[in-house]
A and B are shown apart, each in its own frame.
Chain A
């Protein structure tokens, strides 16, 4: 039986879906987290504790483990684990992009350096040290601009600045965010931020799978809610895209070119791009699959999940089809409207009753302390819909969301 090593941070949303896929495939599963599982002492063959922030050390631990428990594939389920997964795969000779390419993609500044060198369309950018004077730093950028941490995801810490005052406020806010206990960054990620030109236009997300260096587009999501700042909270993702076919093709080409420039060759990729009259602009190329529970919108072939598809690729098993189902699908990541403690959720049954709504999953727990963007990194939950058209899906998601109310104080 194939042994699969899943790198599962203790706080990831992705656990349930990857475990379900592993069960479907009937693999011998080993779960690695950054903290010991309470049952690890009883089941040392099933659990590993790995420091994801130290990829070489993690690779050494797994290499030792694999001498007695040969591992057929390793998959990191999100950003926190992507470099460690690549390092482990490289050490064991397993299917993965190279660790250097994944490291480059994980650092927004290094990624832009690489994409700029390849002549790809990206915003003008500048890396700024957090120890620098923000007023002087602001004088070196054009407005409007976007400030962001180098390594955080989910729009955490991403802020628009239209002038020097807003720049200084955003600068200080990012510095404070990176100092928080619940933020785990080190190296350049803890010492610098990125300032880049704000690109007007619409935003899309491309979900892809790299196989032997070739990008296969699995889904292109429109983001119907405008993302113009001051923060960049992602809410609605709807697929298929309503953009003209030629524009979609150019988005696919830009993403493939970016992956090639970075040296990414195997495994899932989640790309974010802006699109305007000048064409697509690459904002992010993440060597991982879509975050949160959003992958539940995707079904391939005769019903395969995205996670099963990713695991099949890593294990070298056949994939019957990379074609997404014909129906439109979408998800709303329910935003946290304000800081406070979640006391109650109302309207779930009414939201589920909306035509086209498949599920409403509230992931925040009662009494949870909620932190909105730009400091937060969580959602209240997720709403899923399917329908005959992207417009119908979007309307269902908005209707369902309007029926929910949250008591926060």
Chain B
């Protein structure tokens, strides 16, 4: 089951998610699928980006859940502190 789900998630990442976030120099890698939970790692412009949370939770997770309702949660395993080229760098307005 997990392998089948993993394949479907990977396909979504390849066909829909990564082509979109590539516009900001970003990408996500599928780390694992366990108990219908999807573990992702963000890289490039997404790693450390001030908008990474929005993109993951309101974007990527929503897309995956819309297409694959059996997914219960999408979790970020990224070490954002190690990002060296985030697309947006946070600061106080």
Contacts and interface: CB of A to CB of B under 8 A. Distances in A.
A365 B78 CA distance: 14
Interface in B70-93: 81-86, 88-93
Contacts, number: 105
Interface stretch (A7-15, A111-119, A320-328): A7-15
A365 B92 contact: no
A31 B50 CA distance: 13
A365 B84 contact: yes
Contact of A39 (B59, B82, B93): B59
B17 to A, nearest CB: 7
A317 interface: no
A79 B63 contact: no
B68 interface: no
Interface residues on B, range: 20 to 34
Contact of A46 (B62, B88, B90): B62
Interface string B4-20: 00000000000011001
Interface string B57-72: 1111011000000000
Interface string A145-187: 0000000011010000000000000000000000000000000
A29 B58 contact: yes
Interface in A41-56: 41-43, 46-47
A365 B53 contact: no
Interface in A102-155: 153-154
Contact of A33 (B51, B63, B83, B89): B51
Nearest to A365: B48
A335 interface: no
B9 to A, nearest CB: 15
B20 A38 contact: yes
A159 to B, nearest CB: 17
A362 B89 CA distance: 12
A37 B90 contact: no
A10 B91 contact: no
Contacts of A11: 50, 88-91, 93
A362 B59 CA distance: 25
Given A33-B51, A47-B58, A365 B26 contact: no
A197 B80 CA distance: 43
A205 to B, nearest CB: 13
A42 B57 contact: no
A43 B59 contact: yes
Contacts of B83: 365
A37 B85 contact: no
A115 B24 CA distance: 44
B93 A79 contact: yes
Nearest to B48: A365
Nearest to A80: B93
Interface residues of A, number: 38
Contacts of A78: 92-93
A37 B89 contact: no
A366 interface: yes
B54 A19 contact: yes
Contacts of B50: 10-13, 15
Nearest to B47: A365
Contacts of A363: 90
A41 B53 CA distance: 18
A42 B81 CA distance: 28
A33 B62 CA distance: 18
Contacts of A80: 93
Given A13-B91, A79-B93, A153-B93, A19 B20 contact: no
Given A39-B21, A42-B16, A154 B92 contact: yes
Interface string A72-116: 000000111000000000000000000000000000000000000
B92 A19 contact: no
A224 interface: no
A11, A19, A41, A47, most chain B CB atoms within 10 A: A11
A213 interface: no
A154 B62 CA distance: 34
B34 interface: no
A97 B57 CA distance: 29
Contacts of A231: none
A29, A33, A39, A366, most chain B CB atoms within 10 A: A39
16 contacts: A8-B54, A10-B51, A11-B93, A13-B50, A15-B54, A15-B90, A16-B53, A31-B54, A31-B58, A37-B59, A38-B55, A79-B93, A156-B92, A291-B93, A365-B85, A377-B93
Closest 7 CB pairs of A and B: A154-B92, A39-B59, A378-B91, A79-B93, A80-B93, A10-B88, A38-B21
